[in-house]
Amino acid sequence: MRTVGLGIIGLGTVGTGVVKILHSRRAGITERVGGEVRVERFCDKVVSSKPELGIRAGTVSRDYRELLADPKVDVIVELVGGYEPARSIILEALKAGKHVVTANKAVLAKHWDEIIGSAQKAGRLVYFEAAVGGGIPVIQGLNEGLAANRIRRIVGILNGTTNFILSKMSEEGLAFDEALKLAQASGFAESDPTFDVQGIDSAHKLAVLSSIAYGGWVKLSDVYTEGITHVNPLDLELARREFGYGLKLLGISAEHDGLIEARVHPAFLPLSHPFTTVKNEYNAIEIVGDASGDVIFYGKGAGQMPAASAVVSDVIFLARQVIEGTAGKLPTVTYDEHKKLRILDRKDFLSKYYLRFTTKDKPGVLSKISGILGEEGVSISSVYQPMVADRESQRPKSVKGRPRTDPHAAHILLTTHSAPEGHIQKAVQEIDRLPTACAKTVCIRIEEP
Ligand code: HSE
Is the domain of 43 the same as that of 152? Answer: no
- pLDDT above 80: residue 401: no
In percent, how much of the chain has pLDDT > 70?
96
35 CA distance to ligand 1 middle (Å) = 33
- pLDDT above 70: residue 172: yes
The pLDDT value given to residue 56 = 86
Examine residue 330 and state whether it is found in any structural domain, yes or no: no
303 and 134 in contact (C-beta within 8 Å)?
A: yes
- pLDDT above 60: residue 59: yes
CA nearest neighbour of 73 among 47, 117, 43, 32: 43
**Annotated active-site residue in 168, 205, 300, 352:** 205
135: helix, coil or strand? coil
Q: Which of 268, 300, 332 is the last residue of a domain?
A: 300
Is the domain of 150 the same as that of 127? Answer: no
Lowest mean pLDDT among 17-26, 101-110, 388-397: 388-397
pLDDT band per the 50, 70, 90 thresholds, residue 397: very low
Is the domain of 10 the same as that of 42? Answer: yes
The pLDDT value given to residue 254 = 98
Q: Is 190 in the pocket of ligand 1 (CB under 6 A)?
A: yes
- pLDDT above 80: residue 109: yes
The pLDDT value given to residue 91 = 98
From 190, 192, 204, 280, mutation site for ligand 1 pocket: most ligand atoms within 8 A of C-beta = 190
The pLDDT value given to residue 394 = 39
Is the domain of 249 the same as that of 281? Answer: yes
Is the domain of 130 the same as that of 144? Answer: no
DSSP string, 251-267: EEEEEETTEEEEEEEEE
Average of per-residue pLDDT across 290-317: 96
68 CA distance to ligand 1 middle (Å) = 28
H helices within 173-297, ranges in order?
A: 176-185, 194-197, 200-214, 233-238
Is the domain of 86 the same as that of 182? Answer: no
The pLDDT value given to residue 393 = 41
The pLDDT value given to residue 14 = 94
- pLDDT above 60: residue 129: yes
The pLDDT value given to residue 407 = 64
Examine residue 332 and state whether it is found in any structural domain, yes or no: no
CATH number at residue 428: 3.30.70.260
The single-letter DSSP state of residue 328 is T
**Residue 279 is among the residues annotated as catalytic for this protein:** no
Average of per-residue pLDDT across 95-118: 97
The average confidence (pLDDT) of the chain is: 93
138 and 209 in contact (C-beta within 8 Å)?
A: yes
Residue 402 CA: distances (Å) to CA of 82, 166, 179, 236, 240: 36, 15, 13, 12, 16
The pLDDT value given to residue 352 = 98
Q: Which residue has the higher pLDDT, 404 or 356?
A: 356
Average of per-residue pLDDT across 146-174: 96
261 and 254 in contact (C-beta within 8 Å)?
A: yes
Q: Which residue has the higher pLDDT, 54 or 37?
A: 37
The pLDDT value given to residue 399 = 38
CATH number at residue 52: 3.40.50.720
- Please tell me the residue having the least CA distance from ligand 1 atom 7: 302
Is the domain of 147 the same as that of 294? Answer: yes
The pLDDT value given to residue 366 = 94
CA nearest neighbour of 215 among 143, 264, 318: 143
Q: 72 lies in which domain range?
A: 3-134+304-324
Examine residue 145 and state whether it is found in any structural domain, yes or no: yes
Examine residue 341 and state whether it is found in any structural domain, yes or no: no
160 CA distance to ligand 1 middle (Å) = 5
Atom of ligand 1 nearest to the CA of 158: 6
Alpha-carbon distance of 295 to 157, in angstroms, equals 14
Examine residue 329 and state whether it is found in any structural domain, yes or no: no
The pLDDT value given to residue 331 = 87
The pLDDT value given to residue 406 = 61
Average of per-residue pLDDT across 133-151: 97
Q: Is 211 in the pocket of ligand 1 (CB under 6 A)?
A: no
Examine residue 373 and state whether it is found in any structural domain, yes or no: yes
- pLDDT above 60: residue 206: yes
State the total domains in the chain: 3
Is the domain of 192 the same as that of 245? Answer: yes
The pLDDT value given to residue 405 = 52
pLDDT band per the 50, 70, 90 thresholds, residue 302: confident
341 and 216 in contact (C-beta within 8 Å)?
A: yes
Is the domain of 372 the same as that of 294? Answer: no
The pLDDT value given to residue 395 = 42
Atom of ligand 1 nearest to the CA of 188: 5
Is the domain of 159 the same as that of 280? Answer: yes
- pLDDT above 70: residue 402: no
Its pTM stands at: 0.94
Q: Is 160 in the pocket of ligand 1 (CB under 6 A)?
A: yes
Examine residue 334 and state whether it is found in any structural domain, yes or no: no
367: exposed, middle or buried (Cβ count in 10 Å: 0-12, 13-18, 19+) = exposed
Is the domain of 291 the same as that of 314? Answer: no
- pLDDT above 50: residue 398: no
Examine residue 32 and state whether it is found in any structural domain, yes or no: yes
Is the domain of 152 the same as that of 75? Answer: no
Radius of gyration, CA atoms only, the chain: 25
Q: Is 301 in the pocket of ligand 1 (CB under 6 A)?
A: yes
pLDDT in tens, 15-52: 999 999 999 999 999 999 999 999 999 999 987 888 88
